[in-house]
Amino acid sequence: MFDSRLRPIIDIPLNAVARRLSGTGITPNMVTLAGFVLGLMAAFALSIRMDQTALVLIILSRIMDGLDGAIARHTVPRSRHPKAKSQESDIGGYYDIVADFIFYSGMVLAFAIGRPEHALMAAFLIFCFVGTGASFLAYAIVAAKHGINHDKQGQKSFYYLTGITEGSETIAVLIAFCLFPGWFPQIAGVYGALCLITTFGRVLQARRDFG
C-alpha cells in the first residue's frame, strides 16, 4: 500500500550508494546473497529471543534487498550477448523474489521456534503469506503473457501488483514483532486478516483483467 509512495524517497540514497559501487566488481546478485544471509542471521537471533539483534539484522537485510536492484540499474552487463541486460535482470529478479519469500516466512517461523506458545498464530500468518505470495506471482505470470508491465513501484523484473500488504507493511510488522514480542498474536492476527483481504482483492483484479 505504501511501497509506491516510499519508493521515490528510498531510491535517492540507494541510487547514490549504487553509483559508488557500480564498477567495483560488486554485483547485484552478491548484494542479494548478502541480504539473504543477514536475513538468516536475523531468523536465528529471533529463534533464541535476541529480539534487538534481530531488529538490526532485519533492517540491514532489507537495505541490501533495496540496494541490489539499484546496483543492477547502474551496472553495465559484462556479456556480449545483445540481450544480456534483460537476461541478467531476469535471473536477478528471480533470486530476489525467492530470497524475499523465504525471508518473510522464515522470520515468522523463527519467532515461533523461540516462542512456541505463539506457534498457532505464526502458522496462521504463514498461511496468509502464502495467499498473498501466490496471488502476487500468479498475476505476474499471466500479466507477462499479456505483455503488461509498469514501473509504479520502481523498475521491476515483472509486473508488480499492489495490495494492502506489501513489502513496506510487512517489514513494519516484523519490526513490531521485535519491539513488542508479547503482542505477537494480536499483530499477527490483524496483519494476517489484511493479507487475506489483499489476496481476495488480487483475485478480483485478476478476474477483471483476465477473465
Structural domains of the chain in order of their starting residue, each with its CATH number? 3-210 (1.20.120.1760)
pLDDT score for 55:
98
In whole angstroms, what is the distance from residue 40 CA to residue 57 CA?
9
**Residue 90: is its pLDDT beyond 80?**
no
> What is the rounded average pLDDT of the residues 167-192?
95
CA distances, 10 to each of 6, 75, 97, 179 (Å): 6, 19, 19, 23
| pLDDT cut 70: percent of the chain above it | 82
Q: Helices 51-73 and 167-179 meet at what angle, rounded to 10?
A: 160
In whole angstroms, what is the distance from residue 14 CA to residue 67 CA?
6
76-85, 94-103, 188-197: least confidently modelled range: 76-85
- Does the CA dihedral 195-159-16-6 come out positive or negative? negative
Q: Helices 84-114 and 51-73 meet at what angle, rounded to 10?
A: 170
> Burial level of 28, CB count in 10 A (0-12/13-18/19+)?
buried
Average pLDDT, the chain: 84
pLDDT digits (tens, 9 = 90+) for 43-56: 999 999 999 999 99
| pTM, rounded to two decimals | 0.82
**Residue 74: is its pLDDT beyond 80?**
no
> Burial level of 146, CB count in 10 A (0-12/13-18/19+)?
exposed
140 close to 158: Cβ distance less than 8 angstroms: yes
**Residue 13: is its pLDDT beyond 70?**
yes
Q: Which three cell numbers stand for residue 200?
A: 481476495
State how far Cα 70 lies from the chain centre. 15
In whole angstroms, what is the distance from residue 211 CA to residue 42 CA?
41
Q: Which three cell numbers stand for residue 114?
A: 523461540
pLDDT score for 146:
77
pLDDT digits (tens, 9 = 90+) for 112-149: 999 999 999 999 999 999 999 999 889 888 888 877 65
Amino acid at 202: R
